[in-house]
Amino acid sequence: MDKTININLGGTLFQIDEDAFRILHDYLQAINSRFGYVQGGHETIEDIESRIAEIFQSQKGLAGVITRANIEAMISIIGKPEDFDHGDPDTAAPVYTSQKRRMHRNPDDFIISGVCGGIGAYLDTDPVLFRILFVVSSMFGIGLFVYVVLWIVLPVARTDSQKREMSGGSYHSAINQNKHYDNAQMTGTPQYSAGYKSSSRIGNAINEIFMAIGRVFYIVIRIFLIIIGVVFVLTGFLSILSFVMIFIFKFPGVFSIDSSGINLINFTDFLNYIVNPASVPWITILASIAFILPMLALIYWGVKMIFWFKARDGVFSLIALVVWVMSIAGLTIIGFSEGISFAQTAKTSAETLLPNSPDTLYVRSDKKIADLKFEKDFALPHDEYSVYINDEKKELYMRSYLAIDRSDNKSTRIEVRKRSAGRTEMEAIKKTEGLIYNYSIKGDTILVDEYFTSPSGRKWSADNVGINLYIPTGTILKFEKDTRILLHSSFRNESDEYLESSWESVDGLWVMTDDGLEPAHENSVKHK
Amino acid sequence: MDLENNKAQMRKGILEYCILSVLSRNSCYASDIIKELKEAEVIVVEGTLYPLLTRQKNAGLLSYRWEESQQGPPRKYYELTDEGRKYLVDLDKSWQELVESVNLIRTR
């Protein structure tokens, strides 16, 4: 059954169905806007309303619901406002220009109480301007005060004539937009509004304040959500941008925090040496999906939070989730199948004893990274693990590090420790033996390479080479020029003191003490 | 020329005169005035009448009192004021003159 509405028309109550109500409403609105501003016009409106009531009564008695047909019959009797002209030249073609303006609160355009909407209508300006003005000036306290005063002082433009006054006649009634029609508006004759106002004024004020608090609360939450939304969108957007820039366009430096330490741009090239090259495109695609999809979701959520809309995105989200899970599953499968090659790690080491333990030992680097021929390099962040790729020779070069330890006997010796991973321990050991690392001892000078080489055509298998130099207490160690690269950047002694700060000041001169390596100053060396 | 428009213009001119004439015979409700004007085909839609009644009342030509009705709320019962009667006499005279003028032109 259709909804029926009770209306009070010319002092008589009628039941009217919703459809008919809308037509009647528009009709009365048209009459209102025809006569509302003419002198004595309210009386005319009342007369016409009484007549409408009379016609309805003659049609229905007092029982029954008024339908569309009733309304149409009534309108054909009374006529449309534009047909009234035939008798009255004065009401034809009304001109509003001389309409006086009075500021009201706008009930059809409000955020909190319609103050800004009213000012906007009064000045024919976008109310948003005043809203921003009030928010900004509220930060200094004035705006809030002015706003509250205006809220109290300005009346709400309830009737049509007030709405017309609010904007000097140019106001377009909200009724045409079917924005809100209720009984109060329906029977919006002057005497009705007057009664409505006086009877429940205090109740209205309290109600209005609560509504306003609710709206303020809502606005605060909206602003909060908008901020989160913006953060989401920015995060997602920048993540995708940096992902694309680094891995697809290989745009170096910009997005890395420390361009010397982090070099991920050639990761995809390096992948060719880690896994079966056939699976590299798959890994690239799957990893892109696995990373970009959540970022897109983040952007979408952000946009949703900012613009606050509802969308039928359930199926879409589900598909996206399934695709994402599948990409992760695919990566996992590839990871497992390729990971087998890294199942076991093995370490081998070889020691060389120096024939005599010199008082002063010189350290020099032999083969330098600076002289390397390579196309691409790759570095893991934080881990100080750098790989240099020579695609032509299919060789990998990796940095090796020198560590200085105290010899527990009087001997001076060098130990080279190699580490590799493989399917089995045997394979891993074999792989360590394949790693090429050279050093040589010439009198009291040792020459070490800055890198080691993985044989041509072999895959990378988490290879590592470390050189340990053991020297007895009292031995002076002189690092020649440009040998800093041989040592870890976090260069420490036995008692775990960080020695970096002294490197420059001692000019590469160190001495082994019972507490480990310490910076040696010229005079202390002479003293010994 | 638009005949309908011309007829409407003519009716417009005499409408106020007709209302006062109806009320000169006896006081009545708005719906009674409408009934008579409609029968004489002076008005087409009822809505035309109401603004005129309001204006004539405001001009002091007629007045109304509320009359209880058997069904529904009280209704307005219109009657001519003294000023209205004087005004009607003037209008009667001008109408007579108008008719004579037109006849003079038509029969010449």
- Work out the pLDDT band at A185, boundaries 50, 70, 90: very low
Cβ neighbours of residue A528 under 8 Å, at least 6 residues apart? A474, A476, A511
B68 touches chain A (CB under 8 A): no
Q: Nearest-CA distance from B73 to chain A in Å?
A: 6
pLDDT per residue over A295-349, tens digit each?
Answer: 999 999 999 888 888 788 889 899 999 999 999 999 999 999 888 888 889 999 9
CA distance A243 to A284: 12
Q: Nearest-CA distance from A7 to chain B in Å?
A: 15
User: Does A219 or A62 have the greater pLDDT score?
Assistant: A219
| Residue from A501, A503, A497, A502 nearest A515 by CA | A497
Edge to edge, the sheet with strand B75-80 lists B28-29, B75-80, B62-67
pLDDT at B86: 92
Helix axes A18-35, A68-78, angle to 10 degrees: 20
pLDDT at A459: 87
A2 has a pLDDT exceeding 70: no
CA distance A479 to A207: 84
Cβ contact (<8 Å) for B51 and A84?
Answer: yes
CA distance A276 to A441: 40
A8 touches chain B (CB under 8 A): no
Residue of B19, B37, B50 to mutate when probing chain A, most A C-beta within 10 A: B50
Burial class from Cβ neighbours inside 10 Å (0-12, 13-18, 19+) for residue A269 reads middle
pLDDT at A192: 36
Tokens found for residue B6: 């011309």
pLDDT at A485: 80
pLDDT per residue over B31-81, tens digit each?
Answer: 888 888 888 888 778 888 888 888 888 888 999 888 887 766 788 889 999
C-alpha dihedral, A434 to A438 to A441 to A446, nearest 10°: -130
pLDDT at A92: 43
Query: Which of A26-40, A79-93, A499-513, B67-81 is predicted least confidently?
Result: A79-93
CA distance A511 to A414: 17
Q: Which residues of A touch B55 (CB under 8 A)?
A: 40, 88, 90
Q: What percent of chain A shows pLDDT beyond 90? A: 18
* B48 close to A86: Cβ distance less than 8 angstroms: yes
Cβ contact (<8 Å) for B46 and A78?
Answer: yes
Q: Could you say which residues from 15 to 34 on chain B have a Cβ atom under 8 Å away from some Cβ of chain A?
A: 15-16, 30-31
| 0.80 exceeded by pTM | no
B45 touches chain A (CB under 8 A): yes
pLDDT at A168: 67
Q: Which amino acid is at A200?
A: S
Mean pLDDT of A76-95: 63
pLDDT per residue over A453-473, tens digit each?
Answer: 998 888 898 899 999 999 998
> Strands, DSSP E only, in A343-412?
344-353, 360-365, 376-380, 385-390, 395-399, 401-406
- Work out the pLDDT band at A262, boundaries 50, 70, 90: low
Tokens found for residue A395: 């060789």
* B31 close to B105: Cβ distance less than 8 angstroms: no
- Work out the pLDDT band at A175, boundaries 50, 70, 90: very low
- Average pLDDT of chain A is 80
Q: Establish, for the pair of chains A and B, how many residue pairs have beta carbons separated by less than 8 Å.
A: 92
Closest residue in A to B19 (Cα) is: A87
pLDDT at B1: 62
Q: 3-state SS of A202-251?
A: HHHHHHHHHHHHHHHHHHHHHHHHHHHHHHHHHHHHHHHHHHHHHHHCCC
A79 touches chain B (CB under 8 A): yes
Residue A238 φ/ψ region, left for φ over 0, alpha for ψ in the -120 to 50 degree band, beta for the rest: alpha
pLDDT at A263: 62
Residue among B8, B16, B46 minimizing CB distance to A77: B46
Radius of gyration from C-alpha coordinates of chain A: 43
ipTM higher than the 0.90 cut = no
Cβ contact (<8 Å) for B48 and A88?
Answer: yes
Q: Nearest-CA distance from A163 to chain B in Å?
A: 22
A57 touches chain B (CB under 8 A): yes
A488 has a pLDDT exceeding 70: yes
A191 touches chain B (CB under 8 A): no
pLDDT per residue over A400-417, tens digit each?
Answer: 988 888 888 888 999 999
- Average pLDDT of chain B is 86
A525 has a pLDDT exceeding 60: no
Q: Nearest-CA distance from B108 to chain A in Å?
A: 32
B44 touches chain A (CB under 8 A): yes
| CA distance readout (Å), A305 to A165, A321, B57 | 38, 20, 61
Edge to edge, the sheet with strand A464-471 lists A344-353, A413-422, A464-471, A401-406
Q: Nearest-CA distance from A104 to chain B in Å?
A: 29
* A389 close to A270: Cβ distance less than 8 angstroms: yes
Mean pLDDT of A55-63: 73
CA distance A246 to A266: 9
- Work out the pLDDT band at A253, boundaries 50, 70, 90: low
B59 touches chain A (CB under 8 A): no
Q: State the pairing for strand pair B75-80/B62-67.
A: antiparallel
CA distance B23 to B45: 19
Give the residues across from A439 on adjacent strands: A448
A492 touches chain B (CB under 8 A): no
Residue among A10, A47, A77 minimizing CB distance to B50: A47
